Structure 1
Amino acid sequence: MTAVAPAAVERRERGAGVRAGRAGIALGAVLLVALTASVCLGSTRVPLGEVWSAVERGLTGQAPAPGTQDLIVWRLRVPRALLAAVVGAGLGLVGTAVQALVRNPLADPYLLGISSGASLGAVSAIVLGAGAGGALGLGLSSAAFAGALASFALVWAFARRGGGFRPLRLVLAGVGIGQFLSGFTHYLVLRSGDEQQTHGVLFWLMGSLGGAQWTTLAAPTAAVLLGLAALLARARALNALLMGDETAASLGVDVTRLRRELFVVTSMLTGVLVSVSGAIGFVGLMVPHACRMVVGGDHRRLLPVSALFGAVLLTVVDLIARTALPDQELPVGVVTALIGAPTLLYLLDRRLERG
C-alpha cells in the first residue's frame, strides 16, 4: 500500500502537468488569434495581410506605407491590444495570489477594495498635479501602488479584528471600504475644476485602455514579469498557505513574512495596472476559478496558466468594448462587470449550498 500511494500521486502530478502544458499551448494560440482580431477589427477594418505587413514594417523600423492604415495598426491598435493582454495577465496573477493569501475563492483586487485604493492614489496624483512628479514627488504608478497597499492593509486589519479571521468578513470589509474610497475618488475628480479632465478621468475610472501607447507598455510589462517571477518563487509556499497558517508553519513556511511579501507584490501589480487601465473588476475573480478546473490548484501551474487566460480574456473584452456599439466605445470595466457579476452570484450560490 505504501508503494502504491506515491506512484498514484506521481501519476496524478504527471497528468496535471500534461493538462497544464496543453492548456498553455492552447491559450497561447488563442491569444495570438485574439490579438490579431483586435488589431484587424474596429471602426476601420484592416485586412489581415495589411496588418502583418504593417507590423513587419514597424518591427524593422521601416517608414509607414502611404495612407493611414499603417498608423492605425502600429501606433494605435497594436499597443492597445498588447496592453490589454498585459493588464489581463496581471489581473489574473493578482486574483490568483489574493485568493491564496486570504484563503477565499471570492476574493479579487476589485472586491477587496485594492483597486479602489489604487484608483484613489492615481486620481490624487492627477488632480494634485503629482502624476509628473509634482507636489507629492510621486509618479502615477507609485501613487497608485501606495493607495493599493494602504487600502489592502486597512481591509486586512478590519477583517482581523478580534483576533479571528473570517473570509466573508474580509469580502464585506473590502466592499465597504472600496465603496468609501471610490466615493472619495469621485469627489476629488468633481472638485478638479477642469471639465475635460473630469470627463476623461471618470471614463478611465470605469476601466479604459484608450490611452495605450508604446511608451505606456514598459511599466506594466515589467511589473507583470517581475510579479510572475516573484509569485512562482513562492508557489510551494502558496500551496501550503491554502491548508491553513498552522499547517504552512509546520511545513517550514514563515507565514508572517510570506503575507507581507504577498501584500507588497499584489499591491505593486494592482497599482501599476490601475495606473494604465483604471479599475477593471472581476477578471481576477473569474480567471483563477476557470483555470483551477483545468490544471488544479498547484500554483506552479496555476499562476502561468492564469496569466495566459487573463491575457486572452481581457483582449477579447477590449475588442467587444470597442466594437459592440457602432459610434461609441464602452468602458472595459462595464463589459467585465456584465460578465463577472453573474459569475460572482453563481459562486456565492454554490458556497451557500455547501454551507
Structure 2
Amino acid sequence: MKEIVILGSTGSVGRQSLEVIRRLPGRYRVAGLAAGRNWRLLAEQIKQFHPRVVSLAGPEEARELAQHLDGGGRPPEIHWGEEGLRAVATCPGAAVVLSAVTGTAGLEPTVAALMAGKNIALANKETLVAAGELVMGLAKAKGVRILPVDSEHSAVWQCLSGAPPGAPDRIILTASGGPFLHEPADLSAVTVEMALAHPNWHMGRKITIDSATMMNKGLEVMEAHWLFGVALDRIQVLVHPESIVHSMVEFVDGAVLAQLGVPDMRLPIQYALSHPGRWPGPVPRLDWRRAMRLTFLPPDTRRFPCLKLASAAARTGGTMPAVLNAANEVAVQAFLDRRLGFTGIPVLVERVLDAHRAVSGASLEEILAADAWAREYAQRALDREQLPCCRRD
C-alpha cells in the first residue's frame, strides 16, 4: 500500500482527493495532511484517515487542534506555517505528495518534496507558472515524476499515453468560458456573487474567479508548456462551454485525440493516483444515448484580457510569469474583498507587469523575491491608484 500526503487537504481538491482515497480502501494510506486555518475540518480528516503528521497555517490553529485532539487516542505530530508545510511534504515513507495548495504558497513545499525524492501529483498550477524550469529540472535530476491533476493537463497526459517523442504537434486546452461567455462585453457591473456562479464546475473561490477572467487558462498554457515540453506557440486555447472535452492533442500526422468525461475533478485525481493503471471510476458516465452538442469557439481576448496578459508574460519568461501570478492573486483577493471591481483585475495585473523587469534563469530565491515584490507593488497600487471599484449589489 502506497503512502500519500496531501497539501491543502481542506480545500476543494484536497477534500475530493480524500473522497477518492476513501472509496478505494487498500490502495493508499494517508501519511500526512496540511491545511490552512480550518482546524475543525482537519480534525475530522485526522479521525478518518489517521495521518502521522499534520500542519496548519498558524500557531493558534495548531494549538486549537492539539487541544481538540487531546485524549482522543494517539495524535499526529502537529506543525504550522511554512516549516509545517515542508514537514508534511517531506514525510518519511510517503511516495506521493498531492499538492493542492492554492497559489505560490505551494511552491516551496513542492520543491522540498522533490528534493526528498517524492513523486508530485500536481494540482497547484502556480508552481510551474512561477518556477517551471526550476521544478521540472529538479524532478529530472531526482528521477521523480510530476503527475498532472488539473483536468486539462490530465486530459493531455492521457491523450499522449504511448505517443513517441516528437509525435504531438499541438496541444488544445479547452475552457468553459465561465459565467460571462455570453454576457455583454462590458463586465464592469459584475459582482462577486455573479463571478462565483460557475456554470459547470464546483471549485474554490480563487480558481472560480480565475475561470471567470480566463486567467486560469493563461496559467494552464504555461503549465502545459513545462509539463509536456511543447512550445508556447503550439498550445492553443478553445472555449468549449459544455466542459465535456477536457483537452485535445493534435499529432504530426493530423490525427487529433481528445479526452472526454463529465466535469468532475475526482476523475483526474484518481487517474494521477492509479497511473499507469485504471481503477473503477468515482464519477457518473456520459450518456451517449442522449443528444449532445459539443461547441468550440476562439477566445475573445477583448472580453478576457487576462488571457492576453498571461500570454505576454509567458513569452517574456524569466520572473515575469511569477509576477503575473502574484499580481493576479492580490487582484482576485481584492475583488473577493470588494475592494476592486471585476474589470479592475486585469488593470491591476497589467500595471504590475509594466513595472517589472524580468530576470532570466532565476533561482528559487529570485523567484520568491519577484513574487514578494509583485504583491507589495500591487497592494500599493490598490491603495494609491484609481482602479475600477467593485459593485456591491
Shorter-chain TM-score tier = under 0.3
Higher relative contact order (CA 8 A, sep 6+): 1
TM-score normalised by the chain length of structure 1: 0.26
Q: Which of the two has greater helix per residue?
A: 1
Q: Which of the two has greater strand per residue?
A: 2
TM-score normalised by the chain length of structure 2: 0.24
